[in-house]
């Protein structure tokens, strides 16, 4: 009787296992089909995006804006089509992998993939912020240099360089905030930087512009007395 009970338990366990495997096979096949379709769709969209960026000649525009030089300093090659194509590829692939994970009931994996999927647009926005920052910083640097040189003043190169770094630092910090990296620390740094610039400007005016302000007030007083006399 004892042996027979053991045999019955073993047979019942094997039957349950077999039923679970048989029930899991359709889900596995469905998830595999979804993932394979995702691979094809992601590859096709990647190619389409790369060709679209190529025909729009975005790389040539970025070269004219002076972005390529900064990428080369970081040992990076300017290829906007490849970058955007890779973003689209991984976004679509993770989206289809998320669907396959839901089919299989891997809910912990699905939650993780969903977070990754929501994070990808933040990376794209951060990259666009850095790109716009470089373009704006270069434009302001050339503008300030040209303005100061036209006015025949000194320090055009230094002031232009300072302007470039101020704009770049603000853009970099904004991109890091967009990525959610040490937001509280970055906010403190931004606040401190603004306070430092305001204090430096106030001291510069208070010390360097004190004599000019006194002369201006004296001239205004003299003109007022002249008109009233």
Residue pair 30/103 in contact (Cβ under 8 Å)? The answer is yes
CA–CA distance from 51 to each of 25, 115, 127, 139, 220 (Å)? 39, 29, 20, 29, 66
* DSSP per residue, 97-162: HHHHHHHHT-HHHHHHHHHHHHHHHHHHHHHHHHHHHHHHHHHHHHHHHHHHHHTT-S-HHHHHHH
pLDDT tens-place values along the chain, 229 residues long: 555 565 555 556 655 655 555 565 677 788 888 889 989 999 999 999 989 988 888 878 877 877 777 777 767 777 888 888 888 999 999 999 988 888 888 888 888 888 888 888 888 888 888 888 888 888 888 888 888 777 666 667 777 788 888 888 888 888 888 887 766 666 666 666 666 666 655 555 555 555 555 565 566 566 555 555 5
Q: b/e per residue, 111-148, with b = 16+ CB within 10 A?
A: eebeeebeeeeeeeebbebbbebbbbbbeebeebbeeb
Q: Which pLDDT score is estimated for 198? A: 61
* Cβ atoms of 131 and 178 closer than 8 Å: no
* CA 107 from centre of chain: 28
Farthest CA pair distance, the chain? 131
Predicted local distance difference test score (pLDDT) of residue 172: 84
- Residue 47 is predicted with a pLDDT of 92
The pLDDT score that the predictor gives to residue 73 is 73
What is the Cα–Cα distance from 57 to 86, expressed in whole angstroms? 18
User: Rg of the chain over CA atoms, in angstroms?
Assistant: 32
> If we measure between CA atoms, which residue out of 200, 201, 176, 205 comes closest to residue 190?
176
Looking at residue 7, its pLDDT comes to 56
What's the pTM? 0.64
């Amino acid at each position: 009787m004892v042996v027979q009970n053991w045999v019955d338990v073993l047979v019942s366990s094997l039957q349950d296992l077999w039923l679970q495997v048989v029930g899991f096979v359709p889900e596995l096949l469905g998830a595999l089909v979804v993932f394979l379709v995702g691979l094809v769709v992601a590859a096709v969209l990647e190619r389409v995006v790369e060709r679209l960026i190529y025909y729009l000649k975005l790389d040539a525009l970025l070269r004219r804006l002076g972005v390529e030089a900064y990428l080369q300093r970081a040992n990076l090659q300017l290829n906007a089509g490849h970058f955007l194509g890779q973003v689209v590829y991984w976004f679509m692939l993770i989206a289809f992998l998320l669907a396959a994970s839901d089919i299989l009931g891997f809910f912990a994996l699905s939650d993780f993939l969903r977070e990754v999927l929501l994070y990808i647009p933040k990376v794209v926005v951060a990259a666009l912020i850095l790109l716009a920052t470089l373009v704006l910083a270069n434009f302001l640097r050339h503008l300030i240099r040209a303005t100061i040189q036209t006015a025949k003043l000194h320090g055009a190169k230094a002031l232009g360089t300072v302007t470039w770094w101020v704009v770049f630092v603000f853009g970099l910090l904004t991109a890091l905030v967009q990525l959610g990296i040490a937001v509280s620390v970055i906010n403190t740094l931004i606040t401190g930087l603004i306070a430092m610039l305001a204090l430096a400007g106030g001291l510069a005016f208070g010390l360097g512009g004190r004599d000019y302000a006194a002369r201006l007030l004296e001239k205004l007083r003299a003109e007022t007395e002249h008109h009233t006399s």
